[in-house]
Amino acid sequence: MSFVTTKDGAHIYYKDWGTGQPIVFSHGWPLCADAWDVQMLFLLQKGYRVIAHDRRSHGRSSQTGTGNEMDTYADDLAALIDSLDLKDAVLVGHSTGGGEISHYVGRHGTSRVSKMVLISAVPPLMLKTDANPGGVPMEVFDGIRDGTMNNRAQFFKDLALPFYGYNRPNATVKQAVIDEFWREGMAGSVLGLYECIKQFSEVDYTADLKKIDVPTLILQGDDDQIVPLDGSGRKSVEIIKNATLKVYPGASHGMCTTESDQVNADLLAFIQS
């Protein structure tokens, strides 16, 4: 197993396959790098170098008692990118990972980055505030905190249903997808996962989005029940200078799994453009 050691001594697990232009993937909550397996294998076979890490306190990375916040997540990503000396990288972030790669740019710039992809991503801000009246109420996130703290094993099984749109009429439910969501979520630290909720819900990424100066593709479903499209993708495309939004009709938050063929095709076309 491969790890990079951060400045505070945490060990960040990553997988690094292939050669060529590097594509760096950042996963959503409460998952790990394995959530990207379908995209990684596809792009590897197209001749790219594909890299994905487990965010600290997720998956196989160190379960730290500190640093479970977005500044450190972004710096951990920088430690990985710098240690591998990546250049001309395409950063791809899903959900919380979209916040992570945006905040990476906000703190470290785009000198090593050629393009970015935000998929069902949390920026600019999920939480409902006076300045963001269309956001998600705090009670929703408090419910996620309660479920994570008190019975995350059951909560993750329940959360997988809206995550993949399996609670919709006539949905084709795949139990193996639910099982994999549960497996990845349970591998993480309950402390780290709990603390990460604040990072995907309350952090305002607007300033980070304004610093993105490379071509950016935004992909999101219009039936995203976790990160509503109107408050995220539709706003981000107006903030990022050179961004394009593609909306998937009827697609869920977990579209990298449920719409993997189309996501893969769109990733490849954007990278090659």
Half-sphere exposure of 143 (CA within 13 A, CB side): 10
Task: Given the residues 53, 58, 103, 253, select the one marked as catalytic.
Answer: 253
Distance CA 33, CA 2 (A): 13
2 is catalytic: no
Task: Given the residues 201, 224, 232, 236, select the one marked as catalytic.
Answer: 224
Task: Given the residues 95, 102, 189, 236, select the one marked as catalytic.
Answer: 95
User: What strands lie across the sheet with 11-17, from one edge to the other?
Assistant: 2-5, 11-17, 49-53, 22-26, 89-94, 113-119, 216-221, 243-248
- Provide the angle, in degrees to the nearest 10, between the axes of the packed helices 138-163 and 175-187: 130
> Is the pTM here over 0.75, yes or no?
yes
273 is catalytic: no
Q: Specify the DSSP element, H or E, that contains 175.
A: helix 175-187
- Provide the angle, in degrees to the nearest 10, between the axes of the packed helices 190-201 and 138-163: 110
The correct answer on CATH 3.30.70.120 for the domain covering 2-272 is: no
pLDDT in tens, the chain (273 residues): 899 999 999 999 999 999 999 999 999 999 999 999 999 999 999 999 999 999 999 999 999 999 999 999 999 999 999 999 999 999 999 999 999 999 999 999 999 999 999 999 999 999 999 999 999 999 999 999 999 999 999 999 999 999 999 999 999 999 999 999 999 999 999 999 999 999 999 999 999 999 999 999 999 999 999 999 999 999 999 999 999 999 999 999 999 999 999 999 999 999 999
253 is catalytic: yes
